[in-house]
Structure 1
Amino acid sequence: MKKINLLTVALLASSVLGGTLVNADTDSSATSIGKVSVGTLTEELPENPDPEGGGEITDPEITNPEGSRFKVIHASNLEFGEVVVTAKEQIVKAQTSEVTTTSEGVAKRVPWVTTYDMRNSTERSDWELKASATPLEDGNGHVLRGAEITLYNLNYAGDSERAPKAETGKITLGTSAQKLATATAYSGEGTQDTGVGSWSLAMGYKTNDELETDGVELRIPSNIVINEGVEYTSTITWEMATTP
């Protein structure tokens, strides 16, 4: 037994001390390939993510489902209800709306706007979501002079790193488009694409027993002419625009 032990030690020593043993294996490697094929973009409807997360909105349906792979696919109407005829300033919050979700069924949601970007890597670039608004008019040529719609508390549910980045602070809509959110394309090590797929930008959070949002308000200034018994409307344009 002692001889076997001594022989074993001698072989290990020759290997450790740099002796190359005849027929001993050296480092070796081999390569193989992983492969996946990608078909063309299908024509299935894009998702309309729930602005509160946890599913999709199924009703109302997507308002712009077909065509471009880079577009706004849904934008909520902004409903402010009924105001009074008064000489005093009025600040009115936008109302929530009743929707159908895959996670909760029928529920209340704040207004939101959904973007959709399924461009491939050769087309991809940074983009911005913007909004503009026409003056509030009564349909007979009378403008609610000085009235302003303001957005704030803009947010994406879940705070995902892949979500577009919502603007902070108050944004007053006018005839010039105002930036609401931005998305960026991959630009090298340590970066990633944001805004790919469908993303719903929520305008505020529910308040007043879920009847209103704290992210959209209409300000009607004091001492202006207000026609009674009419409805004032503004056309709000939501657009996605690429940036250099």
Structure 2
Amino acid sequence: MKFIRLATVAALSTTIFAGGVQGFAEEAGESKEVRDTTTEGKITFTPGDDDTIVDPGTEGPDVEIPVITDPDGNNKGPLTISTVPTMNFGSQIISTTDETYNMVAERQQLIGTTGDENKVPYVSMAQVDDTRGSNEGWVLNLSLTEFEAATDTQNKVLKGAHISLHDPSIRYSLDDAAQMPAAHATGLKLMPNEAGVAVMTAAPEKGAGKSTVEWGDHAALAQQIEDGKEVVENTSIKLFVPGSTAKDAVTYTSTLTWELESTPGNEEE
């Protein structure tokens, strides 16, 4: 497993008693040898609080993925969201026909460097850590609001715009494919102001450890860089905007909400 963010690791200690003890007993004045005996080796695990990010693959550059934190700068616990993508669809010319825009590829900091000039295009990912040790399963849902202008403008809402997610892949930290969670189907549509939809799901007895759903392809991003493209695009995340929607020359923004539930498939009472 390759970690791409340095973390403090708490040591786990235990005492293991080895077998092979030989003892002697006196019985009726005779010496009796004990040639076989048993003792116990024990280890107890408790829910973890690791806050590292696992590299989604080996094809991409070595980068440092930022970890999501709360207002106090913390993100530790037995079931938590480690990282999620921010989606920027760039600057586009107003069009009167239906348009689908690829997301501008996110950029991550090369390990051991500082400054934006040392950030490189990278795939987008959402990662869940489950170190509860209960094997209950979980589901990561995503919802979004309407794309709205922050300024006072005539056409404040980008009506009919929606995001779609394509060709997801799963990276899993455990060497057990049977416990790997499942990604959403390709072409998943995220419609504004609707209930969240599952982007990664771990049924009961699945999803322990670190699970990452990834969108994008390192080789495709690298090819765009080699071709000298000024804006590198991630074609696995798209924004559709109807041509019939009125658009003003402003920035429209949507809020994406990522919600991790511990009991997939159970409805709220």
- Fold match (TM-score > 0.5): yes
State yes or no: 1:166 paired with 2:172.
no
**What's the secondary structure of 1:156's corresponding residue?**
strand
Q: Which residue of 1 aligns with 2:28?
A: none
Deviations 1:14-35 (A, max 9, x none): xxxxxxxxxxxxxxx9662442
How far the C-alpha of 1:63 sits from its partner, in A, is 1.1
Q: How does 1:1-244 map to 2 (within 5 A)?
A: 32-38=38-44, 40=46, 43=49, 45-53=50-58, 59-64=64-69, 65-100=74-109, 107-121=120-134, 124-140=135-151, 142-157=156-171, 161=177, 162-174=179-191, 175-186=194-205, 194-206=206-218, 207=220, 209=224, 211-228=232-249, 230-241=250-261, 242-243=263-264, 244=266
Are the structure 2 counterparts of residues 55 and 93 from structure 1 closer, same or farther at C-alpha, using a change threshold of 3 Å? closer
**What's the secondary structure of 2:253's corresponding residue?**
coil
Which whole-Å CA distance do the structure 2 matches of 1:181 and 1:85 have between them?
Answer: 34
Which whole-Å CA distance do the structure 2 matches of 1:233 and 1:31 have between them?
Answer: 70
Name stretches of at least 5 consecutive residues in structure 1 with no aligned partner. 1-28, 187-193
Name stretches of at least 5 consecutive residues in structure 2 with no aligned partner. 1-34, 112-117, 226-231
Q: Alpha carbon RMSD of aligned pairs, Å? A: 3.0
Q: Contact 1:150/1:217 (CA < 8 Å) preserved in 2?
A: yes
**Identity between Structure 1 and Structure 2 (%):** 21
Equivalences, count? 204
**What's the secondary structure of 2:149's corresponding residue?**
coil
Q: Give the TM-score of the pair, scaled to structure 1.
A: 0.72
Q: Contact 2:47/2:133 (CA < 8 Å) preserved in 1?
A: no
Deviations 1:168-223 (A, max 9, x none): 2211113211111211333xxxxxxx322222211232536162222110011112
How far the C-alpha of 1:74 sits from its partner, in A, is 0.9
Are the structure 2 counterparts of residues 185 and 79 from structure 1 closer, same or farther at C-alpha, using a change threshold of 3 Å? same
Q: Give the TM-score of the pair, scaled to structure 2.
A: 0.66
Which whole-Å CA distance do the structure 2 matches of 1:200 and 1:57 have between them?
Answer: 17
Deviations 1:62-82 (A, max 9, x none): 013524321212111011111
**What's the secondary structure of 2:121's corresponding residue?**
strand
Are the structure 2 counterparts of residues 56 and 183 from structure 1 closer, same or farther at C-alpha, using a change threshold of 3 Å? farther
